Amino acid sequence: MLAACALLVLISGCKDNKIDKMVDQMVSTKVIAHRGYWKCEGSAQNSISSLRNAHKAGVYGSEFDVQITADSVLIVNHDNDFKGHVINLTHYKVIQDSLLSNGEKLPTLEEYLAAGKKLKGLLLVLELKPVKDNPALEQYAVEKCVEMVKKMGLGKRVDYISFSLEACKRFAALMPKASVAYLGGYYMPIELLEIGINGFDYHYNEVLMNPFWVDEARNYNMTSNVWTVNDSLLVETLLVGNPTFLTTDNPEEVMLQIQALKERVRERF
């Protein structure tokens, strides 16, 4: 009788493990914090504190924006201007002591990556902002980003995204084993793959209009990401397609939704 009970427990445990694996495959979307997890007291978008908050919250990855100054210094900032200075036309020394809204210093990419390196397990999603009217500077920025990532030993922990198709092509050429995703929409997954780009990272409206693109990307072993998804009902809708990533300003809430969906799916087995 004891042996029979032990066997039943073992069988039950194996069944539970099998179900858990099936559920994880069916609901495998991972959360990316948009510009870090900045909706915390004392934080700000693209700040090092927002990066640390993302890690503390347990998200899979944290996205951040990179700009290049006129004298080729890479800094982390979303807008192409900072406190009245157009970054691509401004020398770094002019803005190097400028502060973010939370009082932190405007971070360089080197400082940001150094902080991220200490946060074990966190994927760093580097978005290079296009350099309008200066393609040479943009390509140089791509090369400097890759050089810095390699120098810090972060090659396996950094994904690359951009609204610039040319920047994505160059990232893919320089880092063929890395995940590179185009942000601009319009292109089908197979079209991106044909030019060497192995993922898309599209606004949710683009994905809602073309929901089959998520499956297409999966079939071609490409990544799919949807941004920036903050509405809970929209999150539920998009999770049905099971994209690789979902980028949000509300990472903790979205992670709870994903867990709840997994529990609902598990109940059906």
pLDDT in tens, 96-107: 999 999 999 999
Compute how many other C-beta atoms are within 10 angstroms of the C-beta atom of residue 91.
13
Count other C-beta atoms under 10 Å from residue 93's C-beta: 10
10, part of any domain: no
**What is the C-alpha to C-alpha distance for residues 238 and 125, in angstroms, rounded to an integer?**
21
Q: Is residue 11 part of a domain?
A: no
How far is Cα 108 from Cα 114, in angstroms, rounded to an integer? Answer: 10
The Cα 251–Cα 104 span in angstroms is 22
Span 198-234, pLDDT tens digits = 999 999 999 999 999 999 999 999 999 999 999 999 9
Q: What percent of the chain lies above the pLDDT cut of 90? A: 89
Structural domain contains residue 3: no
Task: List the CATH number of the domain containing 119.
Answer: 3.20.20.190
Q: What is the pLDDT of residue 8?
A: 43
Q: Which residues pair with 64 in a beta bridge?
A: 126
Query: What is the DSSP secondary-structure string of 163-221?
Result: S-HHHHHHHHHH-TTS-EEE-S--S-HHHHHHTT--EEEEEHHHHHH-THHHHHHHHTT
Rounded to whole angstroms, the Cα distance separating 50 from 40 reads 8
Higher-confidence residue: 139 or 5? 139
| pLDDT tens, residue by residue, 11-52 | 455 667 888 888 899 999 999 999 999 999 999 999 999 999
If one compares 132 and 127, the residue with the highest pLDDT of the two is: 127
Q: At what angle do helices 135-151 and 109-117 cross, to 10 degrees?
A: 30
The CA-based angle 53-55-60, given to 5 degrees, is: 130
CA angle 188, 192, 194 (to 5 degrees): 115
Q: Are 86 and 79 in contact (CB under 8 A)?
A: no
Tell whether 54 is covered by a domain: yes
- Look up the pTM and report it: 0.93
Residue 13 lies in a domain: no
Predicted pLDDT at 6: 47
In a domain, 233, yes or no: yes
Local confidence band at 79 (pLDDT 50, 70, 90 cut-offs): very high
Indicate whether 6 belongs to any domain.
Answer: no
Count of structural domains, the chain: 1
- Domain span at residue 209 reads 29-267
